[in-house]
């Protein structure tokens, strides 16, 4: 197996870990100590991998950093990399998501709070606002979820740069087929039980937690909602529930296997008002048939009781393995699709985001 890198963004810094030839991951010294790292990306499209980190300097505000030597040194644009045009009267609060485009060299997308999408054409150094989404007639009516009014998920099509989806908490899933010039809400058949009776299937207003794409069927998407797990076979045109066989359909992350179509992973929490692992045990549930059936896996994970939750971006599936990090500062790795687990790190700050890649 090739070498791999793991990036762990936490409430108080960034931790990088390396694995050589399939060996264990070794954690390197902390970077951006005491600085919140809300988003990370590992861009392997070029000859040299580029790391991107969406950081929050506290009093000094958010920014995006980049490194072309796997974290030895970091650079930052001379002007704020992401800034709202003055006419919007908006101020950047957080960078929630960084996503390299698989079909456009040099293009990186950023999802931010307040909910907006930005596009970079220089590898994530500088960004500009995607005005088509900002000017959408629904936007003034969007309401924040518990974490704020954030664009937290970006789902670019692997081969067609005109097609992309995004998710906003708590507005729902939106898609474009013209490269971001126009957008439509795509939440059909997603139930929002917190709405009044008779209004629980609104055009928008759903509290989507995370969306992921099937690697070999890009029209197929999987969605973890505040109440429910869903699948779409037409890129959000319609959705249907696939969470009824789970012990709980409440949770935050959902991840698709990087190469095996129909295989997805979730980590259920007990309930909206009890955000602890089901039965106070960390167990990752895997489906190999696109959500028709589910199996729990937890070999190597603590027997319990555990109480830390796992956030929407704190689980990832890549060719390097399956990983998740907890709010208790632990990170776990599986190299057999969840069937067995090993501890990568403990005693870290609150884990916000995890990304991994084979180099």
Tokens of 70: 């796997």
* Residue matched to tokens 């969007």: 142
Closest among 187, 153, 156 to 172, alpha carbons compared: 187
Closest among 298, 264, 266 to 280, alpha carbons compared: 298
Q: What is the pLDDT of residues 196-208, one digit of tens each?
A: 999 999 999 999 9
Taking 70 as the pLDDT cut, the residues of the chain under it are: 1
DSSP class of 158: S
What residues does each domain of the chain span? Answer: 4-358
DSSP class of 28: P
Q: How many CA atoms does the CB half-sphere of 90 hold within 13 Å?
A: 21
Class of domain 4-358: mainly beta
Q: Is 69 exposed, middle or buried (0-12, 13-18, 19+ CB in 10 A)?
A: exposed
Its pTM surpasses 0.95: yes
Residue 252 confidence (pLDDT): 98
Q: Is the dihedral of CA 218, 172, 330, 29 positive or negative?
A: positive
Residue 2 confidence (pLDDT): 82
Residue 1 confidence (pLDDT): 55
DSSP class of 31: B
Q: How many CA atoms does the CB half-sphere of 195 hold within 13 Å?
A: 18
Residue 58 confidence (pLDDT): 80
Q: What is the pLDDT of residues 26-51, one digit of tens each?
A: 999 999 999 999 999 999 999 999 99
Q: Is the dihedral of CA 282, 323, 95, 13 positive or negative?
A: positive
140 Cα distance to chain centroid: 24
Closest among 1, 38, 88 to 349, alpha carbons compared: 38
């Amino acid at each position: 197996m090739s070498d791999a890198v793991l990036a762990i963004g936490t409430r108080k810094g960034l931790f990088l870990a390396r694995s050589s030839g399939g060996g264990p991951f070794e954690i390197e010294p902390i970077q951006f100590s005491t600085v919140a790292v809300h988003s990370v990306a590992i861009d392997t499209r070029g000859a040299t991998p580029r790391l991107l980190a969406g950081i929050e300097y506290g009093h000094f505000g958010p920014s995006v950093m980049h490194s072309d030597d796997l974290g030895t040194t970091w650079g930052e644009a001379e002007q704020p990399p992401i800034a709202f045009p003055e006419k919007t009267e908006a101020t950047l609060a957080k960078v929630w998501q960084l996503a390299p485009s698989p079909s456009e060299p040099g293009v990186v997308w950023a999802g931010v709070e307040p909910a907006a999408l930005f596009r970079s054409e220089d590898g994530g150094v500088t960004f500009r606002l995607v005005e088509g989404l900002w000017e959408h007639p629904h936007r003034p009516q969007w309401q924040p979820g518990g974490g704020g009014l954030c664009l937290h998920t970006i789902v670019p099509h692997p081969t067609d740069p005109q097609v992309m989806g995004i998710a906003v908490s708590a507005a729902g899933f939106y898609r474009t087929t013209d490269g971001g010039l126009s957008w439509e809400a795509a939440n059909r058949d997603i139930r929002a039980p917190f709405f009044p009776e008779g209004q629980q299937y609104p055009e928008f207003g759903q509290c989507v937690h995370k969306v992921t794409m099937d690697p070999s069927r890009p029209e197929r998407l999987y969605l973890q909602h505040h109440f429910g797990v869903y699948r779409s076979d037409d890129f959000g045109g319609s959705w249907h529930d696939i969470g009824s066989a789970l012990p709980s359909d409440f949770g935050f992350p959902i991840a698709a296997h990087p190469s095996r179509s129909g295989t997805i992973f979730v980590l259920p929490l007990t309930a909206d008002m009890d955000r602890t692992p089901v039965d106070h045990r960390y167990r990752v549930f895997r489906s190999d048939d696109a959500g028709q059936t589910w199996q729990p896996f937890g070999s190597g994970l603590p027997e319990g009781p555990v109480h830390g939750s796992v956030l929407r971006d704190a689980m990832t599936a890549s060719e390097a393995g399956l990983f998740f990090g907890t709010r208790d500062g632990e990170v776990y790795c599986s190299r057999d699709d969840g069937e067995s687990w090993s501890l990568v790190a403990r005693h870290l700050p609150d884990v916000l985001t995890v990304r991994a890649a084979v180099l």
